[in-house]
């Protein structure tokens, strides 16, 4: 591994120039209007992300577990650098740092990791995957990419001891899907994706990866594929949705895919019908249903969750899609270009049935990486799009969503003026009641992967940071 570089950056989903549509499906032309882009997928080469306003954009927070149960969703960036209205909650004790991994010589923007099981955590950087003993921090193994390639993507989560990575000659040519055995520490397989002739010269081939139910689900520009997680055999390919062959604009292109458990969801940008969402069986690839149009607006869309099915329009808001024949329900919708979409991407919301909880700005018209906004924790009823309850945080504090566990919504809270002093706060999703949580101290260094903080078995919490502080593990004591 070689030379460490500055890998800090804006959270995935930060505003970047769009990619315009032009005839014959060549949809990535010269930018015309400035709009946010999705957290992964096409037109999101990490090299092009603006890093200047990083410190203002990333909410400086860390979290500590008070339970040994692994979170369903972890690690989210909040908005601005203001937050919790005096939480008014006393501490339940101070966390104990168990170990921290030594700095890794790594370059590039890719960094993150997975809690694998009761014994192993894995850290991913551009030039390798490293396994650590969860209890002691001892390095167990290291997997390097093939010669001439680097790691340019990783799945949000690992499943059954397997994590998925993207490989390429650089981050702008991420064209190979691969799987890593995180128990044995070995590369299981790799499969290079190819493109039709009319996509020649496109920067990015692999749009996203998910691992679920023994499958690695891979997005490319036209569709999605399911590979056996252990054998690398392509088991299925979702059919490309097309309309009248005589109509120039009558196809649907794949824009985002997310697999969670038995269901896989795909955002489709259709020439004639606008944006739709299709769902598939993760194992067989059989289509379950395709929604009515969510919106006529083409552009950047992505998924927050598969069950419940929640999608984000980069310029207008969040929508709950209850089924194939039901109208989508708008949540946090606003006028075009006034939606702070860079704060809403996979991992940024906690779900309890049809309740969605997020850390929001009090002023939904505040937009942009330099925005200064007071924050609030808000839980919504997805079936109506209405607010269930809110908890205001005071200006100058920080708040960061961690996820849902043990029937509670967990928030990482930092009081005003205390950047390194954090407290974990559990809220009831039903009424917003909050209980005491532990405190701990850590520097505000994060990886590029959205799921930065993850709960681990044995009352532990794991933070995946940049290569100079790759992994830190705490116990609540």
Q: Report the pLDDT value the prediction gives residue 146, as an integer from 0 to 100.
A: 93
**pTM for this entry:** 0.77
The whole-angstrom distance between residue 188's C-alpha and the CA centroid of its chain comes to 24
Cβ(367)–Cβ(338) below 8 Å: yes
Q: Report the pLDDT value the prediction gives residue 81, as an integer from 0 to 100.
A: 29
pLDDT along the chain (477 residues), means of 10: 29 31 26 40 32 31 34 30 42 83 81 92 94 96 94 92 93 89 96 72 72 94 89 91 52 86 91 85 94 74 91 85 89 67 74 90 54 78 94 84 86 79 88 86 59 82 86 84
Q: Report the pLDDT value the prediction gives residue 91, as an integer from 0 to 100.
A: 66
Q: Pairing mode, if any, of strands 263-270 and 139-143? A: unpaired
The CATH classification number of 46-475 equals 2.130.10.10
CA nearest neighbour of 456 among 407, 405, 386, 385 = 405
Residues 57 and 345: their CA atoms lie apart, in Å, by 14
Residue 368 has a CB neighbour count (10 Å cut-off) of: 15
Residue 23 has a CB neighbour count (10 Å cut-off) of: 9
Residues 294 and 302: their CA atoms lie apart, in Å, by 12
Residues 142 and 134: their CA atoms lie apart, in Å, by 15
Q: Report the pLDDT value the prediction gives residue 78, as an integer from 0 to 100.
A: 27
Q: Report the pLDDT value the prediction gives residue 110, as an integer from 0 to 100.
A: 78
User: What count of Cα atoms within 13 Å lies in the side-chain half-sphere of residue 201?
Assistant: 5
Q: Report the pLDDT value the prediction gives residue 80, as an integer from 0 to 100.
A: 27
Residue 20's Cβ-count burial label (10 Å; 0-12, 13-18, 19+) is: middle
CA nearest neighbour of 77 among 388, 460, 447 = 447
Q: Report the pLDDT value the prediction gives residue 150, as an integer from 0 to 100.
A: 93
DSSP three-state, residue 177: strand
Residues 226 and 247: their CA atoms lie apart, in Å, by 30
Residues 318 and 388: their CA atoms lie apart, in Å, by 16
Residues 357 and 379: their CA atoms lie apart, in Å, by 4
């Amino acid at each position: 591994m070689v030379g460490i570089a500055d890998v800090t950056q804006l959270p995935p989903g930060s505003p970047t120039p769009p990619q315009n549509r032009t005839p014959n499906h060549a949809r990535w032309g010269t930018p015309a209007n400035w709009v946010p882009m999705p957290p992964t997928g096409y037109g999101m080469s990490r090299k092009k992300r603006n890093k200047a306003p990083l410190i203002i954009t990333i909410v400086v927070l860390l979290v500590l577990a008070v339970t040994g149960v692994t979170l369903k969703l972890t690690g989210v960036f909040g908005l601005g650098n203001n937050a919790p209205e005096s939480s008014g909650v006393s501490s339940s004790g101070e966390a104990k740092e168990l170990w921290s991994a030594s700095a890794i010589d790594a370059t590039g923007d890719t960094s993150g990791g997975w809690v694998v099981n009761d014994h192993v955590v894995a850290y991913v950087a551009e030039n390798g995957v490293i396994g650590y003993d969860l209890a002691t921090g001892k390095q167990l193994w290291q997997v390097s990419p093939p010669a001439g390639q680097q790691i340019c993507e990783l799945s949000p989560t690992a499943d059954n001891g397997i994590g998925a990575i993207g490989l390429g000659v650089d981050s702008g040519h991420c064209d190979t899907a691969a799987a890593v055995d995180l128990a044995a520490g070995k590369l299981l397989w790799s499969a290079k994706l190819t493109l039709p002739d009319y996509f020649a010269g496109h920067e990015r081939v692999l749009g996203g990866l998910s691992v679920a139910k023994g499958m690695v689900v891979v997005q490319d520009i036209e569709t999605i594929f399911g590979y056996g997680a252990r054998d690398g055999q392509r088991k299925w390919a979702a059919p490309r949705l097309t309309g009248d062959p005589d109509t120039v604009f009558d196809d649907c292109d794949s824009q985002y895919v997310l697999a969670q458990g038995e269901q896989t969801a795909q955002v489709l940008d259709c020439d004639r019908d606008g944006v739709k969402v299709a769902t598939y069986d993760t194992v067989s690839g059989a289509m379950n249903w395709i929604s009515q149009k969510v919106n006529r607006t083409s552009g950047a869309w992505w998924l927050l969750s598969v069950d419940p099915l929640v999608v984000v329009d980069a310029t207008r808001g969040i929508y709950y899609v209850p089924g194939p024949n039901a109208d989508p329900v708008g949540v946090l919708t606003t006028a075009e270009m006034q939606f702070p979409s860079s704060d809403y991407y996979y991992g940024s919301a906690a779900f309890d049935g049809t309740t969605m909880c997020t850390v929001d700005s009090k002023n939904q018209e505040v937009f942009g990486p330099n925005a200064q906004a007071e924050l609030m924790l808000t839980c919504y009823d997805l079936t109506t799009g209405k607010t269930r309850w809110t908890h205001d945080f005071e200006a100058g504090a920080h708040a960061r969503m961690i996820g849902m566990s043990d029937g509670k919504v967990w928030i990482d809270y930092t009081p005003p003026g205390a950047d390194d002093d954090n407290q974990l706060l559990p809220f009831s999703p039903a009424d917003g009641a909050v209980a005491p949580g532990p405190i701990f101290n850590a520097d505000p260094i994060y990886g590029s992967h959205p799921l930065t903080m993850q709960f681990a078995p044995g009352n532990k919490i794991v933070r995946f940071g940049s290569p100079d502080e790759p992994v830190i593990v705490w116990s609540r004591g």
